[in-house]
């Protein structure tokens, strides 16, 4: 298992491993190579073939091996996880309990199927809510629109959602109910109001009593602390109490949940709504004093409600999942999550089909996994099931080379958490690999970078210094720190100073280089003006290396690109650049079609729509 630094050639190492296995006599159909995308898989396969060709020119041994393999290049397979799972299910449909003629649902079908399933599931759950207080609470708190969106997201991530929900449920109190949550919150609020300075009556009378919203809120507060207990045993009483808490939140807290200060800005209440200005001042001072405790009481109440709601969400999700699975089965379809889920279950159940398992294990004797930092826990489970017999001493042990698993990844490049990637799986995989070869050192690090420039490394060090701590950068295993070894392993002699300083392997990155700069402005227009000045500076003599010819030349406007946070901010940058005589052009982006002249011309079918010179560079960087 290899762990890489950012910029190292992980794929290059994996290609070398694959080629070396072929050169050692391993048949290509006994090697399973997995990477993250179809594009990466195609590129890796081509690099393997090119590397074999190159090796065949250097020795007779490799030439002989090339002659053996060149008629069987189709057997050299590099696959994505999804494609591999699909091939498993196609080969073993009966063992996987899937329709032999199943199809893969495409990205346009899945939303429609989920919507169809949610229609049925929510109709069922509305009936359940009549007798189930927790399900009823979910409908009441979220509303059907938000509930649909939430359950749809859970269905889309159903390989991880059940585990996350289960962990949350296990942490929460089991005896908590909606009624008990309301009672606890009412007690906390009662204690808070009865302890206000100068008494509750003085506090409420000093408030904006002439404003109807506060007048209603004051009446509810008096009922809360009154001698008669609130009726919050039934659903109607609980709904009224939740609405009361929402009004308290709006009064004492800002929209983002922070306690209000003495000025009470952002509210409709004024001194004119009070008896006197002094009364309004006293009221605000007392309200700002109790606002922090109010915020904590409301947070505790919402935390309790979430614990109760999570049980209702679990039941609704279970119904929706059954409906969605039934919908897929009715159409003989699988989605991507279902393909992975069925493939994992297939490998777990293959012990019941001994012949199929032996056939599978005899085929895949060497497993190579690229970009492992973007692997999800479910995907690692698939790989683990595929090679689990090796840990027991079984597998293709009669081959010339023992079975092997080869994993490369860089935890610093893990960016697919939104697709359920879990970087902690790297450590679990390392422990598994070390268990296979306890006598060796199967875990290695690639520390030489093939594409990291000194200036960029210095920038990364500066950015993450505050996160990992400059005094103890080794305190975290994933600390974003780079040193002498993390650079181009070449010497650049007589490099053009405009292209970048000569880099010598071993020279420590420093933060004095000017490759990365920060430009900030108080407004978008101010930032655009500063960026315009910076681009003019870059175009006044900066040297770049031409991508087509590789030769040094002066920078042109087409060498610069501006990326925008929002779709409409390009206009300020466009104006700033046009005033400086810099030609601009919008490359894709939705903002182009919102321009007034584009909207006008589109409405006239007889006019030809001509691209408008809009923002930043005419070529991608």
Statement to judge: residues 89 and 147 lie in one domain: no
Q: Is it the case that residue 274 has pLDDT exceeding 90?
A: yes
C-alpha span between 16 and 33 (Å, rounded): 12
- Average pLDDT, stretch 464-482? 60
Owner of token pair 């899937």: 98
Contacts of 136 (CB under 8 A, 6+ apart): 129, 130, 235, 312
191: number of Cβ within 10 Å: 12
621 vs 601: CA distance, rounded Å: 30
**What is the chain's mean pLDDT, rounded?**
82
Q: Say whether pLDDT at 475 is over 70.
A: no
Q: What is the mean pLDDT of residues 409-423?
A: 78
- Residue 505 pLDDT: 34
Q: How far apart are CA 287 and CA 207, in angstroms?
A: 9
Indicate the pairing of strand 552-554 with strand 543-545: antiparallel
Quote the pLDDT of residue 168: 82
Q: What is the pLDDT, as a whole number, of residue 11? A: 79
pLDDT band for position 170 (50/70/90)? confident
Residue 195 is assigned to a structural domain of this protein: yes
Both 493 and 563 in a single domain?
Answer: no
CA distance 566 to 568: 6
| Residue 395: CATH number of its domain | 3.40.50.300
Residues 273/210, Cβ–Cβ less than 8 Å? yes
Report the alpha-carbon distance of residue 372 to residue 34 in Å, rounded: 9
State residue 355's pLDDT score.
77
Residue 526, domain member (yes or no): no
Query: Rounded distance, CA 408 to CA 370, Å?
Result: 5
- Whether 220 is covered by a domain: the verdict is yes
Does 60 score more than 80 pLDDT? yes
Q: What is the pLDDT of residue 392?
A: 53
Place of tokens 């700033």: 576
What pLDDT does 58 receive?
Answer: 87
581: region left, alpha or beta (phi > 0 left; psi from -120 to 50 alpha): left
- Domain shared by 98 and 111, yes or no: no
pLDDT for 511 equals: 42
3-state helix vs strand vs coil in the chain, percent to 5: 55, 5, 35
Contact 294, 218 (CB under 8 A): no
φ, ψ of residue 127 to 5 degrees: the values are -70, -40
| pLDDT of 33 above 90 | yes
pLDDT > 70? residue 483 = no
CA pair distance 338, 102, nearest whole angstrom: 12
The pLDDT value recorded for residue 615 is 46
Q: CA 120 from chain center: how many Å?
A: 30
| pLDDT score, position 411 | 77
Q: What is the DSSP letter of 438?
A: T
Q: At what angle do helices 161-171 and 277-330 cross, to 10 degrees?
A: 130
**pLDDT value of residue 141:** 93
Are residue 298 and residue 244 in the same domain, yes or no?
yes
Helix (H) or strand (E) holding 554: strand 552-554
Residue 385 lies in a domain: yes
Give the pLDDT score at 609: 33
More confident residue, 433 or 305: 305
For residues 353-376, average pLDDT? 84
CB 534 within 8 A of CB 519: yes
DSSP letter (8 states) at residue 253: B
Q: What percent of the chain has pLDDT over 90?
A: 47
Residues 60, 202 within the same domain: no
* Cα–Cα distance, 43 to 38 (Å, whole number): 9
- What is the predicted pLDDT for the residue at 389? 67
| 232 lies in the same domain as 346 | no
Is 372 found in the same domain as 305?
no
> Per mean pLDDT, which of 107-121, 362-376, 457-471, 558-572 is the most reliable?
107-121
Any domain includes 500? yes
Asked if pLDDT for residue 474 goes beyond 80, the answer is no
Mean pLDDT of all residues in 102-113:
90
Least confident span in 15-29, 63-77, 601-615: 601-615
| Pair 131, 275 in one domain | yes
Least confident of 44-53, 291-300, 476-485: 476-485
How many percent of the chain have pLDDT more than 70?
81
**What confidence category does residue 169 fall into, taking pLDDT thresholds of 50, 70 and 90?**
confident
**Residue 607 Cα distances to 588, 598, 604, 610, angstroms:** 21, 11, 6, 9
Q: What pLDDT, on a 0 to 100 scale, did the predictor assign at position 77?
A: 86
Q: How many domains is the chain partitioned into structurally?
A: 4
Cβ-count burial of 517 within 10 angstroms (0-12 exposed, 13-18 middle, 19+ buried)?
exposed
Classify residue 521: in a domain, yes or no: no
Higher per-residue pLDDT: 605 or 275: 275
Over the stretch 486-543, which tens digit does the pLDDT of each residue have?
555 444 434 333 333 333 333 344 444 456 777 888 888 999 999 999 999 999 988 8
Token pair, residue 404, equals: 């092997």
Residue 421: DSSP 8-state: B
Burial class (CB in 10 A: 0-12, 13-18, 19+), 596: exposed
Domain boundary among 416, 446, 476: 446
Shared-domain flag, residues 268 and 311: yes
Distance CA 154, CA 121 (A): 14
Q: Is residue 610 part of a domain?
A: no
Question: What is the span of the domain harbouring residue 594?
Answer: 546-602
The mean pLDDT value for 55-78 works out to: 89
- Quick one: 272 and 187 in the same domain? yes
- Same structural domain, 417 and 553: no
Mean pLDDT confidence for 564-585: 85
Winning range, highest mean pLDDT, from 165-169, 229-233, 322-326? 322-326
In this structure, the number of other CB atoms found within 10 A of the CB of residue 410 comes to 23
- Asked, for residue 609, whether it belongs to a domain, the answer is no
469-500 CB burial, b ≥16 within 10 A, e <16: eeeebeeeeeebbbeeebbbeeeeeeeeeeeb
Tokens of 429: 């995989």
Residues 341 and 309 in one domain: no
Q: Which residue has the tokens 């870059």?
A: 538
**What is the rounded distance in angstroms from the CA atom of residue 80 to the CA atom of residue 524?**
42
| Per-residue pLDDT band at 50 (split at 50, 70, 90) | very high
pLDDT digits (tens, 9 = 90+) for 420-460: 888 888 888 888 888 877 777 777 777 666 666 777 777 77
Over 50: is that where the pLDDT of 248 sits?
A: yes
The H-or-E segment that residue 355 falls in is: helix 354-363
Domain boundary among 269, 301, 330: 330
pLDDT at residue 487, rounded to an integer: 55
Residue 149 tokens read as 């969106």
* Rounded average pLDDT over 322-337: 93
DSSP string, 258-307: PBP-TT-TTSS--GGGSS-HHHHHHHHHHHHHHHHHHHHHHHHHHHHHHH
- Residue 488: per-residue pLDDT: 52
pLDDT confidence of residue 468: 65
CA distance 459 to 436: 39
Distance CA 551, CA 104 (A): 48
In order of 338, 501, 512, 535, the CA distances from 541 in angstroms are: 56, 16, 20, 11
Q: Please provide the DSSP assignment of 121-145 as one string.
A: HHHHHHHHTTT-HHHHHHHHHHHHH
pTM of the model: 0.70
């Amino acid at each position: 298992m290899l762990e890489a630094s950012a910029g190292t050639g992980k794929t290059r190492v994996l290609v070398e491993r694959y080629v070396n296995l072929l050169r050692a006599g391993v048949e290509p159909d006994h090697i399973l190579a997995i990477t993250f995308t179809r594009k990466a898989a195609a590129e890796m396969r081509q690099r393997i073939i090119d590397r074999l060709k190159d090796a065949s020119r250097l020795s007779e041994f490799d030439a002989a091996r090339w002659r053996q393999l060149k008629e069987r290049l189709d057997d050299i397979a590099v696959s994505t996880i999804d494609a591999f799972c699909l091939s498993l299910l196609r080969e073993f449909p009966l063992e996987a309990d899937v329709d032999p003629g199943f199809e893969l649902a495409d990205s346009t079908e899945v939303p429609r199927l989920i919507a169809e399933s949610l229609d049925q599931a929510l109709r069922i759950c509305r009936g359940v809510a009549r007798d189930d207080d927790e399900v009823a609470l979910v409908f009441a708190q979220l509303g059907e629109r938000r509930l649909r969106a939430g359950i749809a997201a859970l269905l889309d991530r159903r390989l991880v959602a059940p585990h996350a929900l289960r962990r949350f449920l296990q942490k929460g109190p089991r005896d908590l109910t909606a009624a008990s949550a309301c009672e606890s919150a009412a007690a906390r609020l009662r204690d808070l109001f009865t302890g206000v300075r100068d008494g509750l009556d003085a506090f409420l009378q000093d408030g904006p009593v002439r404003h109807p919203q506060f007048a209603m809120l004051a009446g509810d507060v008096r009922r809360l602390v009154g001698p008669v207990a609130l009726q919050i045993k039934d659903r109607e009483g609980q709904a009224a109490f939740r609405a009361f808490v929402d009004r308290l939140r709006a009064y004492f807290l800002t929209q983002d949940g922070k306690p209000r200060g003495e000025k009470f800005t952002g509210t409709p209440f004024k001194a004119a709504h009070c008896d006197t200005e002094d009364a309004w001042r006293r009221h605000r001072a007392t309200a700002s004093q109790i606002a922090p405790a109010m915020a904590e009481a409301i947070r505790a109440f919402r935390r309790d409600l979430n614990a109760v709601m999570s049980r209702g969400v679990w039941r609704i999700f279970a119904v929706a999942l059954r409906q969605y699975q039934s919908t897929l089965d009715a159409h003989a379809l699988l989605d991507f999550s279902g393909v992975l889920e069925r493939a994992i279950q297939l490998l777990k159940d293959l012990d019941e089909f001994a012949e199929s398992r032996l056939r599978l294990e005899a085929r895949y004797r060497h497993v190579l996994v690229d970009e492992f930092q973007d692997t999800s826990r479910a995907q690692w489970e698939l790989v683990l099931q595929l090679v689990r017999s090796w840990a027991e001493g079984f597998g293709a042990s009669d081959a010339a080379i023992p079975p092997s698993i080869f994993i490369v990844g860089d935890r610093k490049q893990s960016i697919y958490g939104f697709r359920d990637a879990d970087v902690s799986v790297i450590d679990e995989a390392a422990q598994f690999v070390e268990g296979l070869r306890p006598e060796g050192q199967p875990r290695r690090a690639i520390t030489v970078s093939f594409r990291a420039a000194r200036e960029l490394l210095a920038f990364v060090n500066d950015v993450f210094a505050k996160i990992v701590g400059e005094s103890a950068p080794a305190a975290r295993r994933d600390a974003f720190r780079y040193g002498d070894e993390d650079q181009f392993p070449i010497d650049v002699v007589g490099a053009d100073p405009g292209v970048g300083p000569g880099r010598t392997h071993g020279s420590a990155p420093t933060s004095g280089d000017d490759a990365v700069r920060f430009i900030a402005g108080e407004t978008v227009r101010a930032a655009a003006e500063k960026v315009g000045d910076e681009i003019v500076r870059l175009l006044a003599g900066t040297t770049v290396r031409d991508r087509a010819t590789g030769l040094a030349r002066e920078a042109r406007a087409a060498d610069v690109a501006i990326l925008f946070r929002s779709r409409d901010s390009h206009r300020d940058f466009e104006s700033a650049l046009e005033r400086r005589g810099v030609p601009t052009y919008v490359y894709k982006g939705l903002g182009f079609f919102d321009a007034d002249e584009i909207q006008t011309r589109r409405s006239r079918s007889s006019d030809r729509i001509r691209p408008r010179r809009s923002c930043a560079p005419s070529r991608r960087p």
